[in-house]
Amino acid sequence: MVKSPATNFPLFAMLPLPIPFLAGDIVEVHELPFARKRHVILLDIGDNCDCCAVWQAYVTEDGFIRANAFKHGHVFTKCWWATSPLFRVKKFQGTLDSDEEVLYRIKEFMKKIPETDRRHQLFEIFKYVSDNNIHSREITEEYLNSVRDKLL
């Protein structure tokens, strides 16, 4: 596997492919046959100039919320991804299962944050949620507002 000398990450994690999605889009990504399909909400697209520019939030198999860099493929917790998640991603048009419905609540919450400060606020809020093992059933608008008020 060829790695970037600057970051020691696989070069395919740095792919500068165009991102045809917007922050707030729910997308389906998979690494079949190695991992099942997953749904994530894109928190931020950024400038797409590095491996950490595109941020996501998703629900783990245990129901916890995680937020991290999309291009690193962290959504696949049980396997190391073989190709960039960008090769197998599409906008999700269906209805999420009940264990992932929290993504709809996150999407609605995102719409209420002014665009000028959205990137910073979402990063801080979801870093806190992810680092503190917050379960998806705890994620309500009131909870996210309380985290924002505490941190920002």
Q: Please give the C-alpha separations between residue 52 and each of 30, 114, 118, in angstroms, as whole numbers.
A: 19, 22, 17
Whether the predicted pLDDT of 143 surpasses 70: yes
In this prediction, residue 49 carries a pLDDT of 73
In this prediction, residue 18 carries a pLDDT of 76
Average pLDDT over residues 67-84: 69
Residue 119 backbone phi and psi in degrees, to 5: -55, -50
- What residue has token string 């991992």? 35
In this prediction, residue 53 carries a pLDDT of 82
In this prediction, residue 50 carries a pLDDT of 72
